[in-house]
Amino acid sequence: MSDLSKRHILLGMSGGIACYKSAELCRALIKAGATVQVILTEAAAQFVTPVTLQALSGRPVYVSQWDPREPNNMAHINLSREADALVVAPASADFMAKLLHGRADDLLSLSCLARPMRRVPLILAPALNREMWQHPATQRNVAQLRADGAQVLGVGEGDQACGETGDGRMLEPEEILAELVAFFQPKTLAGQRVLVTAGPTFEPLDPVRGLTNRSSGKMGFAVAQAAREFGAEVILVAGPVHLETPRGVRRVNVETALEMQTAVQAEMNQADVFVATAAVADWRVEGGSTQKIKKAQGEPVPTLALTENPDILGQVAASARAQSGALYCVGFAAESHDLIAHAQAKRERKGVPLLVANLGPATFGRDDNALTLIDAQGVHEMPPNRKIELARQLMAEIARRLPKKT
């Protein structure tokens, strides 16, 4: 299933140059599996045409509350009742001020006011000049809209169409999409802090070579994204990978196993859950060269002395917080054969309540995976699926096992 499968989004646009981004947002929502109905204000129609949005959404676009296509002439009622969420992007300063006071003099504001509040969330993506965004009136309006139940997203920073630079840009379409996908996930990890490691480590032999492995980090990044979607505060300790940081996740970049160990130790005492998905190198070179090791004709092949890297998961699992139950530890095992036997042995050796196993060569670099969960009660298979879907299933399992916070 796609991230927004079976979701119907009412996408409203108020006036602003950021409407060009909303056309791409419409396309992204469709690609994510949603159906989209677009409402434009008259001002928005000055920036992007109904024809464009009709082509992208596959549905006729609404502009006027007097649209004759509705037999009862109540488009604001009919459209809002069909929606799973009403997203206004861009939300201009004027439109947010209008919503604050309950004004409803066009179809979009009517739909916002008439929507069933308990069932249809209102999500606003502001787009303003930096001075307009920072103005006390705007900040008061945003605070009150949030107090009234609207979800007002943050804003981006950078170059603005007016030529100035600063806060106020509408978030990028992929950022708004991520917020919307997260909104629909259950918040079963709200109030929890989740620490995740992801990717390989790189152990240098010299300034240009090193020992590493084929881990892409995709599963670990999916775990971090899913944990954040489920309401957790997430810290991601990432080895050397080229992946975008999931929205809302704090990332700590490391290279070696020793650096990962230091980063984990700095965060573990504030964490409630530790998920060790990283493929940490078992060994590092002892006394690596500070200069590139050169190959010379007739010279013997260099001999490398290896020393064992720290067992990060084992150390965390043996800590007082983990032993007391204050820190729930989850390990990962990427095996090449005899998956169940090796994974069960690793769970017992590491002393963790839950271990997640997979066949590494079958999944490295891919966007899909199949997982096996192993705990004291036995083995539970997670059939092949997208890594993000498997990560969500894993987060649901972890949330179910955690003690309730008081």
- The answer to the question of residue 306 being in a domain is yes
- The answer to the question of residue 406 being in a domain is no
Looking at the fold, whether 146 and 221 belong to one and the same domain comes out as no
CA angle in degrees (0–180, nearest 5) for 285-287-289: 95
Domain harbouring 344, CATH code: 3.40.50.10300
Mean pLDDT of the chain: 93
- The answer to the question of residue 3 being in a domain is no
CA pair distance 279, 205, nearest whole angstrom:
18
Looking at the fold, whether 252 and 334 belong to one and the same domain comes out as yes
Looking at the fold, whether 173 and 263 belong to one and the same domain comes out as no
Looking at the fold, whether 166 and 224 belong to one and the same domain comes out as no
Residue where a domain stops, chosen among 127, 154, 183? 183
Looking at the fold, whether 371 and 248 belong to one and the same domain comes out as yes
CA pair distance 203, 256, nearest whole angstrom:
6
- The answer to the question of residue 67 being in a domain is yes
User: Exposed e or buried b for every residue in 21-31, given b needs 16+ CB within 10 A?
Assistant: bbbebbbbbbe
Domain range spanning residue 12?
8-183
- Show the beta-strand stretches assigned E in 270-353: 273-276, 283-285, 306-308, 328-335
Mean pLDDT of 73-84: 91
- The answer to the question of residue 358 being in a domain is yes
Range list of H helices, 48-202:
50-57, 75-82, 93-100, 107-114, 130-134, 136-147, 173-183
Mean pLDDT of 255-262: 98
- The answer to the question of residue 300 being in a domain is yes
H-helix or E-strand spanning residue 355: strand 354-359
Domain harbouring 157, CATH code: 3.40.50.1950
CA distances from 223 to 76, 230, 249 (A): 39, 11, 11
Site of tokens 């300063």: 93
Mean pLDDT of 269-275: 97
Q: Would you state the pLDDT for residue 300?
A: 85
How many separate domains does the chain show? 2
CA pair distance 33, 181, nearest whole angstrom:
11
Residue where a domain stops, chosen among 124, 156, 183? 183
CA pair distance 65, 353, nearest whole angstrom:
58
Asked if the model's pLDDT at residue 289 lies above 90, the reply is no
Q: What is the pTM of this model?
A: 0.91
CA pair distance 193, 14, nearest whole angstrom:
37
CA distances from 297 to 39, 48, 270, 300, 301 (A): 73, 67, 54, 9, 10
Residue where a domain stops, chosen among 183, 201, 221? 183
Looking at the fold, whether 123 and 27 belong to one and the same domain comes out as yes
Give tens-digit pLDDT for 170-226. Answer: 999 999 999 999 999 999 999 999 999 999 999 999 899 999 999 999 999 999 999
CA angle in degrees (0–180, nearest 5) for 391-392-394: 65
Looking at the fold, whether 177 and 224 belong to one and the same domain comes out as no
Active site residues: 162
304 Cβ contact partners less than 8 Å away, ≥ 6 residues apart: 205, 285
Of 61-65, 157-161, 357-361, which one has max mean pLDDT?
61-65
Looking at the fold, whether 324 and 275 belong to one and the same domain comes out as yes
Looking at the fold, whether 271 and 159 belong to one and the same domain comes out as no
Give tens-digit pLDDT for 52-61. Answer: 999 999 999 9
Looking at the fold, whether 203 and 139 belong to one and the same domain comes out as no
Looking at the fold, whether 48 and 117 belong to one and the same domain comes out as yes
- Show the beta-strand stretches assigned E in 14-94: 35-40, 85-91
Q: Would you state the pLDDT for residue 1?
A: 53
- The answer to the question of residue 174 being in a domain is yes
149-153, 159-163, 326-330: the lowest-pLDDT one: 159-163
User: Strand pairing partners for 264?
Assistant: none
- The answer to the question of residue 62 being in a domain is yes
Looking at the fold, whether 41 and 109 belong to one and the same domain comes out as yes
Predicted confidence band of residue 42 (pLDDT cuts 50, 70, 90): very high
